[in-house]
């Protein structure tokens, strides 16, 4: 992927650590818009960087929506686009988008059922769940993807939509900011039979009114994560901390951070999640190309491997592959 940052990113190039360890990357996108160009060729380039990435999961990002027909069904175009893009690979290796997470407007309540059925028809073997982003903050400096309203996770119609996912055996992908973790607890407790996957380590914010408040934010975030972890139907993706909103500032450095530098900064967050959820409900994620703002794909996975280098082989296997494969029901996609 050619961007203005390529030369800067190349300054941090590293060889892959522990290159034989199987990886299921449960969170990446496919973009072709003004902000990002990240298509199959770029995913294959990244997953082929030296780590043993055996399969991935695509997560919605508003790509290739239908341009006509009912508004509610337009996001199904994204699932069709991904299915058509990766189907010729016939399972890899690597098996790109072995699972697909799409978007549907869950505020349709029970009326979201036809949209879910259309996603499943577009990708009967890969479609696994819905992400309806809920990240909201009062500060205009924060902003949020799709600009959801305040309190979306508590909305009655939205919750009708979440309940609908359970009837189809699909998961709900929770995208929010750390002050909203208590809302996710309420949702998870209200729908214990719906599998929920918390994105991006719960996104501890570090910009706007949260800038310079890292320790205070960390303490609030820790409490929220512990409360979410007490809900057995929730798993968490470990990653996303390179995003600008987390305030690490790596993308503003003269040189990109090394994997050792990233590991040191991320370890308190990642290890707390592992302690609270256990390895069987934690999975490392790339969040590419969004997290490419700070590092190359290889460097990011090196950082993850450094953070858990002291764990037992079975625990590492869970974090890097087995939990994601189980949570996204990829049993037929063996490494």
Mean pLDDT of 277-284: 98
pLDDT value at 332 more than 90: no
pLDDT value at 3 more than 70: no
- What b/e sequence results for 36-65 when a residue is b if at least 16 CB atoms lie within 10 Å of its CB, and e otherwise? bebeeebbeebbebebbbbbbbbbbbebbe
User: Does the N-terminal peptide bond of residue 94 adopt cis geometry, omega within 30 degrees of 0?
Assistant: yes
Tell me the angle at which helices 259-277 and 297-307 cross, rounded to the nearest 10 degrees. 50
Contacts of residue 108, defined as CB under 8 A and 6 or more positions apart, other chains included, come to 72, 115, 157, 161
User: Strand pairing of 52-59 and 95-102?
Assistant: parallel
Q: Read off the pTM.
A: 0.96
Mean pLDDT of 211-216: 98
> CA 197, CA 84: separation in Å to the nearest integer?
25
Summarize pLDDT for 167-193 with one digit per residue, the tens.
Answer: 999 999 999 999 999 999 999 999 999
Please report which confidence band the pLDDT of residue 91 belongs to, taking 50, 70 and 90 as the band edges. Answer: confident
Mean pLDDT of 84-98: 89
Please report which confidence band the pLDDT of residue 334 belongs to, taking 50, 70 and 90 as the band edges. Answer: very low
pLDDT value at 248 more than 50: yes
pLDDT value at 18 more than 60: yes
Share of the chain above pLDDT 90, in %: 93
pLDDT value at 1 more than 50: no
pLDDT value at 232 more than 50: yes
Element (H, E) at 219: helix 214-229
> CA 197, CA 57: separation in Å to the nearest integer?
13
Nearest to 105 by CA among 126, 132, 76: 132
Mean pLDDT of 288-294: 97
pLDDT value at 4 more than 90: no
Maximum Cα–Cα distance across the chain: 53
Question: Which residue segments constitute the domains of the chain, with CATH numbers given?
Answer: 18-327 (3.20.20.140)
**Within 34-107, where are the H helices?**
40-47, 76-86
Average pLDDT along the chain: 96
Share of the chain above pLDDT 70, in %: 98
pLDDT value at 163 more than 60: yes
Summarize pLDDT for 32-87 with one digit per residue, the tens.
Answer: 887 889 999 999 999 999 999 999 999 999 999 999 999 999 999 999 999 999 99
pLDDT at 134: 98
User: Strand pairing of 234-238 and 282-284?
Assistant: parallel
């Amino acid at each position: 992927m050619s961007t203005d940052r390529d030369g800067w990113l190349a300054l941090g190039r590293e060889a892959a650590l522990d290159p034989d360890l199987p990886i299921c990357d449960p969170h990446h996108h496919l973009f072709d818009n003004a902000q990002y160009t990240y298509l199959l060729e770029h995913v294959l380039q990244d997953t082929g960087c030296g780590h043993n990435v055996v399969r991935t999961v695509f997560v919605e990002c508003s790509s290739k929506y239908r341009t006509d027909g009912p508004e509610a069904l337009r996001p199904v175009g994204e699932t069709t686009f991904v299915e058509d893009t990766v189907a010729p690979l016939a399972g890899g290796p690597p098996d790109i988008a072995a699972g697909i997470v799409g978007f549907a407007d869950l505020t349709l309540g029970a009326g979201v059922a036809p949209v879910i059925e259309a996603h499943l028809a577009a990708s009967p073997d890969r479609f696994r769940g819905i992400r309806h982003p809920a990240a909201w903050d009062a500060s205009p400096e924060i902003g949020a993807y799709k600009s959801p309203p305040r309190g979306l996770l508590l909305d009655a119609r939205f919750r009708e939509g979440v309940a609908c996912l359970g009837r189809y055996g699909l998961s709900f992908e929770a995208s929010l900011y750390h002050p909203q973790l208590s809302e996710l607890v309420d949702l998870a407790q209200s729908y214990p039979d719906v599998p929920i996957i918390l994105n991006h380590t719960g996104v501890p914010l570090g910009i706007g009114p949260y800038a310079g408040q890292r320790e205070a934010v960390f303490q609030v975030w820790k409490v929220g994560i512990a409360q979410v972890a007490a809900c057995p139907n929730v798993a968490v993706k470990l990653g996303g901390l390179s995003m600008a909103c987390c305030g690490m500032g790596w993308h503003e450095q003269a040189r990109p951070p090394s994997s050792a530098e990233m590991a040191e900064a991320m370890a308190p967050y990642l290890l707390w999640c592992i302690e609270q959820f256990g390895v069987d409900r934690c999975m490392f994620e790339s969040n590419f190309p969004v997290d490419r703002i700070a590092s190359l794909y290889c460097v990011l996975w090196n950082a993850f491997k450094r953070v858990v280098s002291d764990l037992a082989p079975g625990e590492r296997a869970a974090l890097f592959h087995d939990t994601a494969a189980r949570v996204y029901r990829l049993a037929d996609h063996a490494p």
